[in-house]
């Protein structure tokens, strides 16, 4: 997608073949900077500290991290160590496990001397597959958007609410929830986006708004508490979010606060869609209550970072010294609150039957 008119992806092998380059998302929207990852430990750090984030991009970065490890030492022990190191970086997005399983299955049977080249090829294939999947999600989502637009009588704008950042920054390209938004905008639909703040890390304000601005998509940023009110007033035509892990029965784990938006949407008859790439389906889980929920640092809640009037980026305390903070990073939206799962193979009901209907080969 575009940054100041120039096309970018979120991750790419450096031209000299010695490193992988990422966009440092902790510095957006104020500073656009790239960082080179040269070791598996660099990749683990980038995932853990959220220089890269978003379920599909976490998976792709981990895959490249295995390549970096194999460049340094292609032994069986080094492969096992790299897989374990990267798997422990973040617990909730299942794409991490999916990508590392794929890397392990490709590399383990090979002679060590063949592993580095094979690791790069597999990581690149994982990244390319992500782009193809998200573009297809965009096409299927566009159909749902067009239906809602027609049902609305094609008047005013098509008002879409999204939570967190499930745009191209969360993937290799296109994004999941934002892919249909980009495709709708490019197709001439008058789409307008309500961008949820997404406390505590503000992925909506910092990343989604930045993406939409760069692509020229009309939007307003709103605080996390505004969505229900806007839905009551008929100012939201649909919600669409991404997901970090969706169970085989269609329960959706996503960024904290997603559940509250789904409840408000249900109460106001607003369609609530989830953009779901198949690597984000956890076929081993039926019950969303069993998804591991990441607990992050208190400082993410007690502090805020932003740009001051003199242009410097700084961090301030916003909580009385001494108050403890809890910081669960994800929640689970039960399948009954989800209107549909938009996958690369089409849209289905959020249920075991719905998912099996599209992915009989994987469910088995």
- Does 56 bind ligand MRU (CB under 6 A)? Our answer is yes
Q: How far is the CB of 241 from ligand MRU (least distance, A)?
A: 6
Nearer to ligand MRU, 166 or 301 (CB): 166
Query: What is the number of the residue whose Cβ is closest to ligand MRU?
Result: 242
- Does 180 bind ligand MRU (CB under 6 A)? Our answer is no
Q: How far is the CB of 244 from ligand MRU (least distance, A)?
A: 5
Q: How far is the CB of 165 from ligand MRU (least distance, A)?
A: 6
- Does 10 bind ligand MRU (CB under 6 A)? Our answer is no
Q: How far is the CB of 152 from ligand MRU (least distance, A)?
A: 26
- Does 333 bind ligand MRU (CB under 6 A)? Our answer is no
Of residues 232-251, which lie at the interface with ligand MRU (CB under 6 A)? 242-244
Nearer to ligand MRU, 115 or 199 (CB): 199
Q: How far is the CB of 243 from ligand MRU (least distance, A)?
A: 6
Nearer to ligand MRU, 119 or 164 (CB): 164
* Mask for 84-123, x = binds ligand MRU (CB under 6 A): ---------x------------------------------
Of residues 251-280, which lie at the interface with ligand MRU (CB under 6 A)? 254-255
- Does 66 bind ligand MRU (CB under 6 A)? Our answer is no
Active site residues: 244
- Does 329 bind ligand MRU (CB under 6 A)? Our answer is yes
Distance CA 79, CA 66 (A): 7
Q: Where does this chain bind ligand MRU (CB under 6 A)? A: 53-56, 93, 164, 166, 170-171, 176, 203, 242-244, 254-255, 329
């Amino acid at each position: 997608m575009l940054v100041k008119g120039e096309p970018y992806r979120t991750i790419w092998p450096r031209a000299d073949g010695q490193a992988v380059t990422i966009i440092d998302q902790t510095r957006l929207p104020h500073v656009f900077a790239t960082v080179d990852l040269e070791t598996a430990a660099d990749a683990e750090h980038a995932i853990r500290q959220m220089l890269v984030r978003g379920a599909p991009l976490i998976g792709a970065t981990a895959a490249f991290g295995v390549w970096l490890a194999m460049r340094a030492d292609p032994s069986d022990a080094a492969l096992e160590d790299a897989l374990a190191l990267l798997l422990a970086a973040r617990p909730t997005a299942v794409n991490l496990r999916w990508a590392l399983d794929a890397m392990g299955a490709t590399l383990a049977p090979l002679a060590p001397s063949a592993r580095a080249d094979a690791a790069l090829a597999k990581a690149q294939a994982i990244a390319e597959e992500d782009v193809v999947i998200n573009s297809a999600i965009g096409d299927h989502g566009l159909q749902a958007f067009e239906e809602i637009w027609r049902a609305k009588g094609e008047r005013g704008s098509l008002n879409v609410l999204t939570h967190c950042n499930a745009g191209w920054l969360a993937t290799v390209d296109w994004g999941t929830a934002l892919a249909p938004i980009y495709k709708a905008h490019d197709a001439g639909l008058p789409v307008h986006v309500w961008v949820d703040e997404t406390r505590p890390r503000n992925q909506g304000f910092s990343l989604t708004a930045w993406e939409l601005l760069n692509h020229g998509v009309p939007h307003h940023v709103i605080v996390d508490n505004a969505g229900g009110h806007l839905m009551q007033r008929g100012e939201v035509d649909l919600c669409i979010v991404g997901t970090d892990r969706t169970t085989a029965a269609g329960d959706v784990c996503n960024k904290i606060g997603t559940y509250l938006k789904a409840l408000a949407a249900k109460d106001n008859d607003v369609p609530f869609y989830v953009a779901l790439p198949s690597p984000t389906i956890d076929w081993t889980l039926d019950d969303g209550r069993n998804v591991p929920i990441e607990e992050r640092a208190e400082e993410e809640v007690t502090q805020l970072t932003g740009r001051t009037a003199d242009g410097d980026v700084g961090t301030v305390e916003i909580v009385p010294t001494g108050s403890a903070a809890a910081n669960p990073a994800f929640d689970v939206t039960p399948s009954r609150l989800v209107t549909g799962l938009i996958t690369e193979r089409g849209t289905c009901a959020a249920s075991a039957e719905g998912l099996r209907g599209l992915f009989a080969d994987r469910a088995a």
